[in-house]
Structure 1
C-alpha cells in the first residue's frame, strides 16, 4: 500500500513460517455452537467460520508481519496502472483445484461476479467499485475500477476462487450441506456430520506446496473441528483430550482452572502469544434502528449504568484491561485529550454533527467498583431525563408513557457474556428499566443479527492494522438497511463515511494513521457499543505438547494465518 514490500521477489518463506517444519499430525479444535452449511460465502446458513480460510485459495495472500502487503498465491505476477486505476493478475500455470483440473481465468471471473452479486455482503462492496473485468491473456485477468481508491488493487487479489463447473445448475445462494467444495487449497473436507464435526485432510500433492508464500505452512495432515453445546462441555472435552488446542479468553480461568493432570505432567502446554494489533470492539451493541437507542443520551446512560469495574473484578479478578476505543492498543487508536493536527482538520467540517467528546476528548465512564455504582447511576438518570424519560412508580417510562424494556441477545453457550449481561440487567433495574437476557442457538443468533432483529446484542468486531474498504461494511450508511453487514448498530454517520474515504485515498502512512484515528473518535464517541474487558491482550492457547509454532511471531500474533497455518506436529 505504501512503499516497498519487506520481502524480496526471491523470498523463501514468510518470516514467521518454519520452512523446515515437518509434515504430519493432527489438530482438533473446538467450537461452541453448531453449523448447517458448508458454504461460507453466502448469507444463508451458519458454516464453520474457518472454511473461508482453510478451504479456498485466493490470487494473493496477506503477510501478517506487514499491515498492508500481499504476495502471490494463485497469481504469479501482478501489474497495476500508474494511479492504481486498474490491476492485472496472471495465474500460475501449475495452479489446480483439488480434483486435478486447472484454475482458469474463467473460474476467477465467475467467482468474482458470483460473489459480488450473490455472495455474502462482505464481497459486494468491492464488486460495486469494479467498472469492468476482462480477460487479457490465456492466464491473465484485469479489473478496472470506477473510483479513486488505492486499496482496491489489493482487495482484488483477496477473493476466494471457486470452481465454476461445480456450481453449474446449483442454486449458489441457497446451497448448504449439499455441496462439498472442490478447492484450490491444500485442505479438502473429507468427513463431516451436520452440527457435530468437520474434518479436513491435507493433500500431499497440493499444487502450491513450493510457492514461497506457502512454504512452511499447512503442515498438519488433519484439521478437525468439533462442535459443543456450551463452553463447559467444550472445556471438559479439552481436559479429556478430545480436542488438542483451546484458546482461553478469561485470565482468571487461565490462572485458576488449568491445573488439571495433563497440564501438571506436561502433556498440555500453556502458551502466551503477544501481538501489536488493535483491540477491536467487543461488548454489547445498541441497535439505533430501535427508537430507544436512537437517542445518543440513552446510549450514554447505558454506558454509565454498565458497572465495568465491578464486573471485571467478578469475572477476572480485575486483571484484564478494558477496551477503550475500537483501535486502542495500536498506533491507529485515538489519542487522549482534544483532537489535534490532521485529525482535527479532518473532523472539523463535521463539528455540528459530532457527538460530545469527538473534538474535545473522550473517555469511557469509570465506576467506583462498588455494586451500587452511585455516581454513574445518578448521571445515567440525568441523561435519561434529558432525553425525555421519567420514572413513575419506580418504572422508567418513555416520552410516550410506555415502560422501558428491551432484550439483550446472546448466542447460546457464551456463559461469560450471559453473566456480564445479568449483572448489567440488575444494575438497570435501579433505573426502573427491565432488560431481559435472551439466549438463542447459533442459527437463530445469526438470523436475527443478520436482519438486525434485536435491541441489544453481544457484538464482536476484530480490527486489523490495515483497515480499508471493509470499514464501509462495518460502519457505512448502506448497512442501515442492507442485511448481513457488520453495521449492527445501524449508525448513519457522514463523518464516519468521510473518514473511511480519507483513509482509502491517503497518499502517505501519516495521513492514513490520522484518518483512522479520526474514525476511531467518531465510532467511540458515537456510544454505539458498551465495551467489555480486553480478552485478547495476549492469546492464551493451551495445546498438546506435540503441537509447535515458530519462535518468530508476526506483528499480528495469534491471528488469521497463525493457527493452524504455521503450526506443526512434532513427536
Structure 2
C-alpha cells in the first residue's frame, strides 16, 4: 500500500559563515540583465521555451473540450482533505478544503512540467529583475479578469502576497519570511521586494501563489473557513457540491486566459468532479460501478488481486502504468522527537529494525514495491555509497557534531530474512535499546526514567492497519507496547497540526529543485509552528546549515551536492522509519479518455492534460 501524495508540488504549491555569505549572494549574472523583460524564470536561469512558444510540448493543442472527469483526488496540499470538506478556503490552516481548489485561482506564472523549476507568465506577461535579485517587477496582462468581470490589477497582487504572508497557511506563510514588501507601480505593474537574505527559489514560489481579489477579501474575512465559493479568476470555479460527498469544478466558458501558450491544450474537461470517501475500499467499489471514471491505485493488494471485475474483463475498464520520474518523496512513519521517549536516535533506530519490509513486500504488497531509504528517493539528490570529495568538503566542518557514520557509507535500512520476525535484527534492536539505557522487566521494556516504552501509531486510514499490526507484534517481542489508533479525518489533521501524536504515517513530495517549502520539512523553527511540515520536530543546527547550503547554491550541481550531504545527516538521525515507493503510477480508467502515454517528467496532472473522447465513451456506453 502506498499513501496518496501529500503536500502538492504544483504551482501552489514549495548558521555558518559560508551559509550566511551564500544567502546574501546576488542573483546569477547569467540569469538576467537588470530591467530586461523576461517571459520566464528558473532558479538557475535556464529556460527550455522561447518567448514565442505556442504551447508546452506535453500538452495536446488539438485536444477536444468537454465531458466530465470524475475521480478521488490522489494528491492534495495545504488544508485540503480527500475524505471530507467543510470549507472552500484552501489557503489557511482552519477548516478542511476540497482538493483542487487551486484550479479556481490564477497565479502570476505557471510551472513547465518538463523542466525542473521553470515558470512562464500567466497573469504576468513578463517580469524584470532588479537590485541584484532583491526586486522582481511583474508586468500584468491588462485583459486578466476575475469571474465577476472586474480587472485583476497590481493592487490585487500586492494585497494577496502580503495577506498570505500574514494570514496564510503555515506552509505558505513560513517560506514568505524573506518577502519584504510589495509596491504598486501602476495599474498593471507591481514590484515585489525581498530582504536580500532570500533564496533564489522564493521569487518562483511567490510567482506560483494564488492571486485574490482585494475588493472581495476586504469585504470577507480571509482568516475564516467558509462554504461560500470565493471570487476567483482561474479556468474553473466551484459548481455543484454536497459537503463531505462531492464537489464539481465547472469550466469558465469565457475564461480570459484560455488561449495563452501556458494553457493551450489544458483544462479540457467541462466538469471536474471530486468524490469523497472515508475509506479507499469504498472508493474502489464506486469506481467498479462507474460512479468514478478514473482511479489511481495505491493499494498493492487491490492492484494485484481485485481488478478482475466484469468491466475489466470486457475491456470497458483498462489498466495502465505510467512512468513516475519525479523524486519519490518521503513516505514513512515519523517519530515525534519532541517527546522524551523518542529523543534518543538509538531508540528510533531500534524501532525501525522491528519493521520487516521484505516480509511485508512479499506477503502484503505482492512484491510491487521497493524500500525507501531517503527523503530524496528516486532522484539525483539522494546520497549513495561513500561520500565523494565535494560532499566531504561540506560535511567536514561538522565533524564531531554529527555521527561518525555520516562520513562513511550512506545509511541503508536493514534487510531482513523475510520471515516476519528476523531474530538477528531484533537482537540488534535490543542491543541498541540497552545502549540507550533500557532494561527488560519481564515482558516490558523500561526506560532510564523507570517508565515502560509505549506509543501509538496515529492514522486516518484503515488500510494501514494490516501493515502496522505485524510491526506492532515485532515491537512486542522487544518489550515495547504499541497500538494502532484510527481517527476521523478532522481529528487526524487537527492532531497533526498540534503535533499531538507519537508516531504517524505521512508522505511528503520533494521538488527536483529544492525550494523554500522543502526547507520546512527539516529546519528547526518549522518544528515549532503548528500546521508545519516538520512533523518529526527535527532540531539540528547542522541540518539547518546544510538546508541553507542547498537552497542558496549557485549551480544545480552545487545544490545536488549539498542535498546529498544533507541526506547523509538526516538518515543518520533516524527521524522516521522509511516505508516504500513505486516508480510508476498504477491507473485504472473507464476507457473514455484521450491522453499521452508519456506524462511530463515532473508531474502527473491527469485532470489538466487528459481529454474526453466521445467515440470511446459511446463504445462503452458512457457517451452523451
Is TM-score (shorter-chain normalized) higher than 0.5? yes
Q: Which residue of 2 aligns with 1:30?
A: 72
Rounded to whole Å, the distance in 2 between the matches of 1:245 and 1:277 is 21
Displacement of 1:67 in angstroms is 0.4
Displacement of 1:43 in angstroms is 0.5
Q: Which residue of 2 aligns with 1:360?
A: 408
Q: Which residue of 2 aligns with 1:498?
A: 545
Rounded to whole Å, the distance in 2 between the matches of 1:137 and 1:126 is 27
Displacement of 1:278 in angstroms is 1.1
Rounded to whole Å, the distance in 2 between the matches of 1:434 and 1:405 is 5
Q: Which residue of 2 aligns with 1:464?
A: 511
Mapped pair 1:474 → 2:517: no
Please tell me whether the aligned partners of residues 129 and 145 of structure 1 are also in contact (alpha carbons under 8 angstroms): yes
Rounded to whole Å, the distance in 2 between the matches of 1:286 and 1:317 is 27
Q: Which residue of 2 aligns with 1:298?
A: 347
Q: Which residue of 2 aligns with 1:176?
A: 226
Q: Which range moves more in the overlay, 253-262 or 185-194? A: 253-262
Q: Which residue of 2 aligns with 1:507?
A: 554
Rounded to whole Å, the distance in 1 between the matches of 2:170 and 2:403 is 29
Mapped pair 1:429 → 2:476: yes
Q: Which residue of 1 aligns with 2:592?
A: 546
Displacement of 1:349 in angstroms is 1.4
SS in 2 for 1:166: helix
Displacement of 1:252 in angstroms is 4.1
Q: Which range moves more in the overlay, 274-283 or 216-225? A: 274-283
SS in 2 for 1:174: coil
Mapped pair 1:555 → 2:601: yes
Please tell me whether the aligned partners of residues 330 and 377 of structure 2 are also in contact (alpha carbons under 8 angstroms): no
Task: Identify which of 180, 192, 200 aligns with 2:241.
Answer: 192
Q: Which residue of 2 aligns with 1:202?
A: 251
Displacement of 1:552 in angstroms is 4.2
Q: 1:187 to 1:168 in 2, by over 3 A?
A: same
Mapped pair 1:527 → 2:574: yes
Please tell me whether the aligned partners of residues 107 and 162 of structure 1 are also in contact (alpha carbons under 8 angstroms): yes
Q: 1:552 to 1:319 in 2, by over 3 A?
A: closer
Please tell me whether the aligned partners of residues 113 and 127 of structure 1 are also in contact (alpha carbons under 8 angstroms): no
Equivalences for 1:98-113 in 2 at 5 Å?
98-113=147-162
Give the TM-score, by structure 1 length: 0.96
SS in 2 for 1:79: strand
Task: Identify which of 385, 393, 396 aligns with 1:348.
Answer: 396
SS in 1 for 2:157: helix
Give the TM-score, by structure 2 length: 0.88
Displacement of 1:82 in angstroms is 5.9
Displacement of 1:539 in angstroms is 0.4
Rounded to whole Å, the distance in 2 between the matches of 1:371 and 1:269 is 35
Q: Which residue of 1 aligns with 2:192?
A: 143
SS in 1 for 2:602: coil
Please tell me whether the aligned partners of residues 110 and 122 of structure 2 are also in contact (alpha carbons under 8 angstroms): yes
SS in 2 for 1:144: strand
Please tell me whether the aligned partners of residues 318 and 590 of structure 2 are also in contact (alpha carbons under 8 angstroms): yes
Please tell me whether the aligned partners of residues 80 and 153 of structure 1 are also in contact (alpha carbons under 8 angstroms): no
Rounded to whole Å, the distance in 1 between the matches of 2:225 and 2:359 is 46
Task: Identify which of 447, 451, 464 aligns with 2:494.
Answer: 447
Rounded to whole Å, the distance in 2 between the matches of 1:549 and 1:352 is 54
Please tell me whether the aligned partners of residues 162 and 182 of structure 2 are also in contact (alpha carbons under 8 angstroms): no
Q: Which range moves more in the overlay, 201-210 or 354-363? A: 354-363
Task: Identify which of 464, 483, 496 aligns with 1:417.
Answer: 464
Q: Which range moves more in the overlay, 540-549 or 61-70? A: 540-549
Rounded to whole Å, the distance in 2 between the matches of 1:176 and 1:418 is 34
Displacement of 1:428 in angstroms is 0.6
Deviations 1:351-410 (A, max 9, x none): 222235322121111111112210110111111111111110210111121111111000
Q: Which range moves more in the overlay, 228-237 or 127-136? A: 127-136
Rounded to whole Å, the distance in 1 between the matches of 2:422 and 2:53 is 57
Please tell me whether the aligned partners of residues 15 and 552 of structure 1 are also in contact (alpha carbons under 8 angstroms): no
Displacement of 1:99 in angstroms is 1.4
Equivalences for 1:119-158 in 2 at 5 Å?
119-146=168-195, 147-158=197-208
List runs of 5+ in structure 2 lacking aligned partners.
Answer: 1-42, 74-81, 615-624
Aligned-pair Cα RMSD in Å: 1.4
Mapped pair 1:162 → 2:212: yes
Q: Which residue of 1 aligns with 2:29?
A: none
Task: Identify which of 485, 495, 519 aligns with 1:438.
Answer: 485
SS in 2 for 1:168: helix
Displacement of 1:557 in angstroms is 4.5
Q: Which residue of 2 aligns with 1:88?
A: 137
Deviations 1:236-260 (A, max 9, x none): 0000011111001234422321121
SS in 1 for 2:145: coil
Rounded to whole Å, the distance in 1 between the matches of 2:403 and 2:306 is 43
Please tell me whether the aligned partners of residues 26 and 223 of structure 1 are also in contact (alpha carbons under 8 angstroms): yes
Q: Which residue of 2 aligns with 1:7?
A: 49
List runs of 5+ in structure 1 lacking aligned partners.
Answer: none
Rounded to whole Å, the distance in 2 between the matches of 1:238 and 1:371 is 33
Number of equivalent positions? 562
Rounded to whole Å, the distance in 2 between the matches of 1:530 and 1:373 is 17
Please tell me whether the aligned partners of residues 322 and 597 of structure 2 are also in contact (alpha carbons under 8 angstroms): no
Deviations 1:279-315 (A, max 9, x none): 1111110000011111101100011111111111122
Task: Identify which of 406, 409, 416 aligns with 2:455.
Answer: 406
Please tell me whether the aligned partners of residues 468 and 500 of structure 1 are also in contact (alpha carbons under 8 angstroms): no
Displacement of 1:153 in angstroms is 2.5
Q: Which residue of 1 aligns with 2:609?
A: 566
